[in-house]
């Protein structure tokens, strides 16, 4: 049986009637780098907070490292967390924050803390409220790594960071994952980062889990093709698994989901004169899947209306 670092079962959460999460069941294998993507308001931060038991779900349950995330287990001794907006004691000096960290987690490793302080160039005697957001993120990561976590939860940690530090940040996280076998679960809008680092990706949209697949699976199952066909647009749009459609002059550009052999067979029905498979980035695949989920992909009505709109 696969060893899981995170297991959630049918988690639902709503705020004043608005559904933030709807029946989310996730499984994150131990030692993996797991990316969580989704548009703004998809429920990523809510899910992170529920994983950390900062807020409680209306339904469902969470297991971290094989134990319930509820209080009794003290499982959070082994879990590092970097929130989207690092919340710290504004009037504390950085050093005092580290002392607090060491007093609230007996796994605290002062050696690691000193080492990372040097790398991150933390001004130990500065008060938290005087620091930039980037520095607060560094401190938050430093504190999360200083407990030598088995599981690291990062909620859009690189948002607003400069490209140099963003790369450095990811490198440190990946080193941690590779060196200590730490499971990394992180949400981000930066899909190129994810493409470089993640093994598996889950996508949330409007509180629902759209998919959970490995990066290879995504690349193998979503394709972008441009072609010129003898058949009209109606036939093209009726192709199975179509996610996105664009038209430029006589050229149809489609994004489809399915195995390549099946896609090729389906395309043959349009009697293509010319056909070319395009490179599809994770970002393009993500946008196409979200478009499909929100109903932006047009389907034809009886009179073929909507095609022009799609072409625009």
Partner 1 sequence: MNSAYYYRGLLWKELRYNARLFGLAFILISWQNLFFPVIRGLLREGVTFAEWYTTLLYMMNPHAFSSSFMVQIGIIISIAMGVLILNHERSGSLEYLLSTPVHRKEIIVSKFISGSLALAGIMFINALVVVLVLAAGPVVLVSKTMVIGWFFSMTVAWICLFTLGLAASTLCRNFAAAGLTALFIFALPGMITQFACQAATHFFDASGKLALTIHNSMGRMDVWSMVTMKAPQKVDSVDATSPFSIGTMSSGIGTETPNYFVINNDIVFYLVGLTVLTVIFLVAAVWFFERNPLERKGDWLMFGHFKHVAIIIIAFLMAWSLGLEYAGSLLSFAAYFVLFFVLIYLMFIILSRLFGFFRLREWMGK
With binding defined as CB under 8 A, does residue 87 bind partner 1?
A: yes
First-residue to last-residue Cα distance in the chain:
50
* Closer of 99 and 189 to partner 1 (Cβ): 99
The vertex-214 CA angle with 208 and 218, nearest 5°, equals 80
Provide, rounded to whole angstroms, the least separation between the CB of residue 142 and partner 1: 13
Q: Can you read off the two tokens belonging to residue 115?
A: 């080492």
With binding defined as CB under 8 A, does residue 92 bind partner 1?
A: yes
Q: Can you read off the two tokens belonging to residue 303?
A: 């009179």
Rounded CA gap, 110 and 76, in Å?
A: 18
Q: How far from 39 is each of 25, 42, 163, CA to CA, in Å?
A: 19, 6, 21
Provide, rounded to whole angstroms, the least separation between the CB of residue 201 and partner 1: 24
With binding defined as CB under 8 A, does residue 121 bind partner 1?
A: no
Interface residue with partner 1 among 4, 9, 30, 100 (CB under 8 A) is 100
Q: Can you read off the two tokens belonging to residue 96?
A: 């005092």
Interface residue with partner 1 among 66, 67, 68, 90 (CB under 8 A) is 90
Segment interacting with partner 1 (CB under 8 A) among 104-112, 236-244, 273-281, 294-302 = 104-112
* Closer of 38 and 149 to partner 1 (Cβ): 149
Provide, rounded to whole angstroms, the least separation between the CB of residue 139 and partner 1: 11
Contact letters (x/-) for partner 1, 31-60, by CB under 8 A? ------------------x--xxxxx----
With binding defined as CB under 8 A, does residue 125 bind partner 1?
A: no
Sign, CA dihedral 76-82-84-90, equals: positive
With binding defined as CB under 8 A, does residue 77 bind partner 1?
A: yes
Candidates 132, 128, 120; CA nearest to 93 is: 128
* Closer of 99 and 196 to partner 1 (Cβ): 99
Contact letters (x/-) for partner 1, 268-307, by CB under 8 A? ----------------------------------------
Q: Which residues contact 296 (CB under 8 A, 6 or more apart)?
A: none
Burial profile 264-298: b = 16 or more Cβ within 10 angstroms, e = fewer:
eebbeebebeeeeeeebebebbbbbbbbbbeeebb
Summarize as ranges the residues that interact with partner 1 (CB under 8 A).
Answer: 15-16, 49, 52-56, 71-72, 74-77, 79, 81, 83, 85-92, 96, 99-101, 103-106
């Amino acid at each position: 049986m696969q060893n899981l670092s995170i297991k959630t079962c049918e988690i639902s959460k709503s705020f004043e009637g608005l559904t933030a999460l709807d029946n989310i069941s996730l499984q994150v294998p131990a030692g993996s780098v797991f990316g969580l993507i989704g548009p703004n308001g998809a429920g990523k931060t809510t899910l992170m907070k529920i994983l950390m038991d900062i807020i409680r779900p209306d339904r469902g349950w969470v297991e971290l490292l094989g134990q319930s995330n509820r209080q009794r287990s003290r499982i959070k001794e082994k879990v590092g967390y970097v929130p989207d907006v690092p919340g710290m004691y504004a009037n504390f000096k950085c050093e005092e924050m580290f002392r607090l960290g060491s007093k609230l987690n007996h796994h605290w490793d002062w050696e690691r803390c000193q080492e990372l302080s040097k790398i991150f160039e933390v001004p130990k005697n500065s008060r938290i409220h005087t620091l930039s957001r980037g520095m607060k993120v560094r401190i938050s990561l430093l504190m999360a790594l200083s407990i030598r976590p088995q599981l690291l939860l990062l909620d859009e940690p690189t948002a607003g960071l400069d490209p140099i530090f963003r790369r450095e940040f990811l490198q440190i996280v990946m080193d941690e994952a590779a060196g200590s076998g730490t499971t990394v679960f992180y949400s981000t809008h930066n899909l190129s980062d994810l493409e470089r680092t993640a093994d598996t990706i889950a996508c949330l949209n409007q509180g629902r889990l759209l998919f959970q697949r490995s990066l290879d699976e995504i690349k193998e199952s979503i394709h972008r093709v441009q072609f010129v066909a003898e058949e009209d647009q109606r036939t093209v749009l009726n192709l199975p698994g179509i996610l996105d459609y664009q038209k430029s002059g006589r050229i149809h550009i489609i994004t489809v989901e399915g195995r390549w052999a099946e896609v090729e067979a389906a395309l043959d029905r349009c009697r293509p004169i010319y056909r070319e498979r395009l490179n599809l980035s994770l970002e393009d695949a993500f946008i196409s899947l979200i478009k499909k989920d929100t109903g932006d992909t047009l389907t034809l009505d009886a009179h073929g209306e909507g095609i022009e709109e799609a072409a625009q």
